[in-house]
Structure 1
């Protein structure tokens, strides 16, 4: 057994942490990324490793994708996707093409080679109007954007391959993930944006009243969940959520990140219709099926991210 894993979206934020997790576990990784959102910088630490190879290409290209698969491949972790909610509202076609057509291409490659698939979805597929005390996998779905709709569509496609062809598929839905290598502009996550602004001495801008909450998962915990979920025989055919099980308001998050005399301001929300008021995961099933639990606290995660951003600024 050669222990080779195909990772699509390998040079993205979560992708690079998944690659790192796999390499540390002794796997050989064949990465695919079109670098529209990911970058060589994200995977620079691995590019000299014999066990890592990055192919620059489009997940919708059947030839490019099929060339990554052969009898030595044990699994595919599919992360390549367009992930911007606001952009999907402005350009739904590109999200459909990348997410739905791209996933179909990956599913066909997996079917032809009988390769198990870890499909990385999103918590944004859930009905956010009634999230109660935590969202588990039985929670109703209600995609509120073309992005979320495309992600739910590909989960259904993958389930069709599981039931129709007996393809080993696991659907993995991490909640809000943050950490080093995440973008710090508007396309980044709130933790990365706030921490970067605090380092720069700029005000932390909160959209709306700041009472909205998030369940924040550190990048290494997310990567561990994705790898373990993909390889677990008990998880095949299942949907699994990953989060800490605790949410924090954006106001409290800003207070936790702001240092010295960093100002915290509230600004009008530029797309209030897509705001999620409460986002809290119930990760009970992942613990039961995988024995997985998050290890990095929010305080520690912010500290690691701050140190990394400082080093980047000094580099």
Structure 2
């Protein structure tokens, strides 16, 4: 883990108990590590079924969490027992793969709608000081491009989700406001843009998390896939910066009741990201592939609210973040899944779907 971000406001978390649902994943585990670095007592609730064991070990949840609970956010008794014993909640648990949600909308509903409702029911009846709900820039959909052809998303513009995953996140935002405003429990909503950073590992049949997909493809001698020709635009935010912003939303008074973009404000095409990775692998080649269903044209965040309310600015530029990821990958070749190193016909077909 990187050194903890220096911020005196986070001293308010010293000794506090913080429930992190989904704390066993990439973002959740980094939030847990940063909470621990600032003296908080993170409590993790996770099913631990999103990744195989060798990948889960990379997240080091047991190292930083004060308590780890194997469970589901839909389990009312478990969620209530935990929320009755913590000061804050970060609700990051979700079926968070766009392609998987498109294939299995019922599973997406169960995890992202039913699960969120269960958490909100428990929090609304508890003494929790504040809940931070993790949402996604996918709620914006394609948006409208500006004069330079790039969509810039601000928190007050109309929302037009184009995927099942985005639709569940938008529902979650509305439900957080409805339930917690009425209950008196504090809340903040953070909309993540494109998260990347080690030890991110891709999942079979998914097009999410392009940095590991591209880096591992180049590393194993496979072509880098440019879905949609690589013309889509992304606002890439390092996972360390994402975790820092999320924790700030727990304690910053000006964030109460607010929805805040967590992005860099820098628009980068998928092709440009591929070129940054290919610079580390002289023999890397790119191939074009169809744009997956539900994959937005993309854009970048309007970051004024994150700056004004959280005093947050990303600390890790994309070039540095990709350099870090590639260095980590070259130093940890065992992180590449077996199915990726030797893709089967079925896996290749799933990727093309």
Q: What interval of TM-score do these two structures reach, taking the shorter chain for normalisation?
A: over 0.9
Find the counterpart in structure 2 of residue 268 from structure 1.
290
Distance apart, 1:38 and its partner CA:
4.8
Find the counterpart in structure 1 of residue 138 from structure 2.
124
Find the counterpart in structure 2 of residue 84 from structure 1.
97
Find the counterpart in structure 1 of residue 244 from structure 2.
224
* Residues 85-164 of structure 1: pairs in structure 2 closer than 5 A: 85-115=98-128, 116-132=130-146, 133-164=151-182
Distance apart, 1:261 and its partner CA:
1.6
Distance apart, 1:219 and its partner CA:
0.5
Superposed CA deviations along residues 31-79 of structure 1, whole A, max 9, x for unmatched, are: 0000121566356634245x522111011000111121235x2200000
Q: Give the 3 Å change call, closer, same or farther, for CA 131–118 of structure 1 in structure 2.
A: farther
CA–CA distance in structure 1, aligned partners of residues 190 and 289 of structure 2: 34
**In structure 2, which of residues 227, 242, 246 is the aligned counterpart of residue 207 of structure 1?**
227
Distance apart, 1:211 and its partner CA:
1.4
Q: Give the 3 Å change call, closer, same or farther, for CA 58–144 of structure 1 in structure 2.
A: same
Superposed CA deviations along residues 59-105 of structure 1, whole A, max 9, x for unmatched, are: 1000111121235x220000000112222222211111111111111
CA–CA distance in structure 2, aligned partners of residues 243 and 169 of structure 1: 20
**TM-score, L = length of structure 2:** 0.83
Structure 1 gaps of 5+ residues are: none
Question: Does structure 2 conserve the Cα–Cα contact (< 8 Å) formed by 1:131 and 1:280?
Answer: no
Question: Does structure 2 conserve the Cα–Cα contact (< 8 Å) formed by 1:131 and 1:278?
Answer: no
* Residues 240-279 of structure 1: pairs in structure 2 closer than 5 A: 240-258=260-278, 259-269=281-291, 271=292, 273-279=293-299
Superposed CA deviations along residues 201-223 of structure 1, whole A, max 9, x for unmatched, are: 22111112221110100000000
Find the counterpart in structure 2 of residue 302 from structure 1.
322
CA-based RMSD of the aligned residues comes to 1.8
**In structure 2, which of residues 189, 199, 202 is the aligned counterpart of residue 184 of structure 1?**
202
Please give the secondary structure, in 2, of the residue aligned with 1:277.
coil
How many pairs align? Answer: 311
**In structure 2, which of residues 32, 36, 46 is the aligned counterpart of residue 23 of structure 1?**
36
1:165 and 2:183 matched: yes
Please give the secondary structure, in 2, of the residue aligned with 1:307.
helix
CA–CA distance in structure 2, aligned partners of residues 36 and 199 of structure 1: 26
**In structure 2, which of residues 43, 51, 60 is the aligned counterpart of residue 45 of structure 1?**
60
Distance apart, 1:18 and its partner CA:
0.6
CA–CA distance in structure 2, aligned partners of residues 44 and 84 of structure 1: 18
CA–CA distance in structure 1, aligned partners of residues 275 and 216 of structure 2: 14
Question: Does structure 1 conserve the Cα–Cα contact (< 8 Å) formed by 2:29 and 2:60?
Answer: no
Distance apart, 1:284 and its partner CA:
1.0
Superposed CA deviations along residues 202-251 of structure 1, whole A, max 9, x for unmatched, are: 21111122211101000000000111012222111110001110111111
Q: Give the 3 Å change call, closer, same or farther, for CA 43–61 of structure 1 in structure 2.
A: farther
Question: Does structure 1 conserve the Cα–Cα contact (< 8 Å) formed by 2:24 and 2:61?
Answer: no
Q: Give the 3 Å change call, closer, same or farther, for CA 207–48 of structure 1 in structure 2.
A: closer
Q: Give the 3 Å change call, closer, same or farther, for CA 288–60 of structure 1 in structure 2.
A: same
